[in-house]
Amino acid sequence: MVQIKDFEKYSSVPTDVILKYEGVLPDEIISIWKQYGFGSFHHGFLRTVNPDDPEFVSILTETTEIFSEVKVLFSTGMNDLMVWGKSVDDEYRLYILKYRNESYEILGKNMDLFFVFLNANADVQAEQLSIQPYKEAVKIKGYPTYNTGFGYVPLLMLGGNEADIESLEIVDTKTHITLISKFVGNPIF
């Protein structure tokens, strides 16, 4: 069972979603859904989301080509998506898709270890999850809500400055990712 100290519930997870994904997604995700629901944690940085949300399904369908059977599990306070899916080696892994700079990273195959890492290693979090700009922006602009996150204005590909915390604005997560994908072209990954 995954223990989350600072979970802020947004809504319950519908029973049909839990039943659909039991045995498909990692047990830790199902446990979180049952125990906590959809919501935010880790100082508001991570948000559990519905993998069947039509907008997320559309985003993943349009922007990912190298993954198969991919499902969004989390959105982040920096408008990244954390997904569970297969890549070229046909093994399931947790990935973070960083739309703002068109990159992705493998976070691992084991969700239990991911939660251990999440609570233990601030240096790795800063690099792999890009949590540092979020922490700095929260100090200046406050916490984004469940459906929002920080986005660079202007977008990085349009001359935005990743080092400038002042250029981060609170934006709608799905709209921001869709906007990036329209400028970059699809697929991104």
Say if residue 121's pLDDT is above 70. no
Say if residue 14's pLDDT is above 70. yes
Instruction: Provide the pLDDT confidence category of residue 136 given band limits of 50, 70 and 90.
Output: very high
147-168 burial, b at 16+ Cβ within 10 Å, e below that, comes to ebbbbbeebbeeeeeeeebebb
**Average pLDDT in the chain:** 92
Arithmetic mean of pLDDT, 117-144? 84
**pLDDT tens readout for residues 63-118:** 998 888 899 999 999 999 999 999 878 899 999 999 999 999 999 999 988 888 77
Helix axis angle for 173-184 and 54-63, nearest 10°, is: 20
Question: pTM for the complete prediction?
Answer: 0.94
Report yes or no: 81 and 96 within 8 Å, Cβ to Cβ.
yes
Say if residue 125's pLDDT is above 80. no
Whole-angstrom distance, CA of residue 170 vs CA of residue 15: 31
* Cα radius of gyration rounded to whole Å, the chain: 16
Say if residue 24's pLDDT is above 70. yes
pLDDT at 32: 97
Arithmetic mean of pLDDT, 135-164? 96
Instruction: Provide the pLDDT confidence category of residue 126 given band limits of 50, 70 and 90.
Output: low
User: Does residue 20 or residue 123 have the better pLDDT?
Assistant: 20
Q: What is the 3-state secondary structure (H, E, C) of the chain?
A: CCCCCCCEEEECCCHHHHHHHCCCCCHHHHHHHHHCCEEEECCCCEEECCCCCHHHHHHHHHHCCCCEEEEEEEEECCCCEEEEEECCCCCEEEEEEEHHHCEEEEEECCHHHHHHHHHHCHHHHHHHHCHHHHHHHHHHHCCCCCCEEEEECCCHHHCCCCCCHHHEEEEEHHHHHHHHHHHHCCCCC
CA atoms within 13 A of residue 9's CA, in its CB half-sphere: 9
pLDDT at 123: 62
Percent share of the chain, pLDDT over 70: 97
Distance, C-alpha 103 to centroid of its chain: 13
Place of tokens 């990036």: 180
User: Does residue 129 or residue 134 have the better pLDDT?
Assistant: 134
**pLDDT tens readout for residues 167-188:** 999 999 999 999 999 988 888 8
